[in-house]
């Protein structure tokens, strides 16, 4: 595992200093630039080499969104904001993670680990998927020098990692494929799989419970459910199967 060059961008001095203090505790990270606004961040990224950017969204001169959209070959971004409603637009821009302020070290470490896993996979040339055809009950992914067969029924859920996706199976194994969640959604059969969040697709055959903002899969996995996808999930999977007190005659 290597050392990753990082940039911090936040116009709030106290929050910027707290973020830097947390990140300096993580030995794999080298904080090489700390910026007070979006324009300063854009100039630094354009002239230097950075693997990871931890950026606020609402900043003077240029927003975090503006910084990312201005870059042709952007580093991996983690957006940090007081406004949770920015999460959907963040994931539409394929950021690796979105954190709502105030930032805790535990939440930040989770985002860092996810980003490092993604960077390591990309550095090692990643994996390739094979097309899924009609009437298949399985698909293949390439891991190292092997082609690994995954049965649809064995998949619990899939998490976005930007260009990659992480596939979790019922036997607690994880597999990585070099294909985005958006492309997986187009290729995997809707009879099994449903998008419930910008970052997650689930195998709805294995739903154990649904709450306001989470879905429990196979009695052990907890996956975030966004309001934007909740109604589709309810219509597709739940509504026609709810047992009611009264049956219309």
Pick the CATH number of 138-241 from 2.60.40.10, 2.40.50.1020, 3.40.50.10490, 3.30.70.1230: 2.40.50.1020
Alpha helices in the chain (DSSP H): 13-23, 38-47, 64-69, 87-92, 105-123, 181-187, 227-233
Look at residue 17 and give its three-state secondary structure: helix
Instruction: Provide the pLDDT for residue 140.
Output: 84
Residue 208's DSSP bridge partners are: none
In the chain, domain spans: 4-123, 138-241
- Between CA 209 and CA 196 the distance in angstroms is 14
Instruction: Provide the pLDDT for residue 187.
Output: 83
Instruction: Provide the pLDDT for residue 128.
Output: 44
Instruction: Provide the pLDDT for residue 126.
Output: 44
CA 187, 188, 189, 193 dihedral sign is negative
Q: Which CATH code is given to the segment(s) 4-123?
A: 3.40.50.2300
| Same fold: 4-123 with 138-241 | no
**Residues ≥6 apart with Cβ < 8 Å to 30:** 3, 4, 5, 6
Instruction: Provide the pLDDT for residue 14.
Output: 95
> 199: closest CA among 170, 173, 168?
168
Residue ranges in the chain modelled with pLDDT below 70: 1, 123-135, 143-145, 240-249
Instruction: Provide the pLDDT for residue 37.
Output: 95
Instruction: Provide the pLDDT for residue 55.
Output: 97
* Residue keyed to tokens 């971004």: 77
**Residues ≥6 apart with Cβ < 8 Å to 247:** none
Give pTM, 2 decimals: 0.59
- Between CA 232 and CA 228 the distance in angstroms is 8
């Amino acid at each position: 595992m290597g050392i990753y060059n990082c940039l911090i961008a936040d116009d709030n001095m106290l929050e910027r200093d707290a973020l830097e203090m947390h990140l300096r505790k993580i030995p794999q990270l080298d904080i090489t630039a700390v910026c007070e606004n979006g324009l300063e961040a854009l100039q630094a990224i354009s002239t230097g080499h950075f693997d990871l950017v931890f950026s606020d969204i609402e900043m003077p001169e240029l927003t975090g969104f503006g910084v990312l959209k201005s870059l042709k070959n952007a580093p991996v971004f983690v957006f940090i904001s007081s406004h949770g409603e920015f999460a959907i637009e963040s994931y539409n821009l394929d950021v690796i993670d979105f954190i709502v302020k105030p930032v805790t070290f535990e939440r930040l470490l989770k985002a860092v680990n996810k980003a490092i896993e993604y960077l390591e996979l990309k550095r090692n040339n990643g994996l390739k998927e094979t097309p899924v055809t009609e009437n298949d009950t399985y698909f293949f992914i390439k891991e190292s020098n092997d082609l690994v067969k995954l049965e649809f029924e064995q998949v619990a859920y899939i998490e976005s990692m930007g260009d990659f996706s992480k596939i979790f199976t019922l036997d607690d194994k994880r597999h990585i494929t070099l294909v985005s969640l958006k492309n997986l959604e187009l290729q995997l059969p809707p009879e099994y799989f449903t998008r419930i969040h910008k970052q997650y697709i689930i195998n709805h055959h294995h739903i154990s419970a649904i709450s306001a903002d989470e879905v429990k899969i196979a009695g052990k996995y907890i996956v975030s459910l966004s309001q934007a996808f909740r109604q589709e999930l309810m219509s597709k999977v739940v509504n026609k199967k709810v047992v009611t007190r009264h049956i219309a005659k």
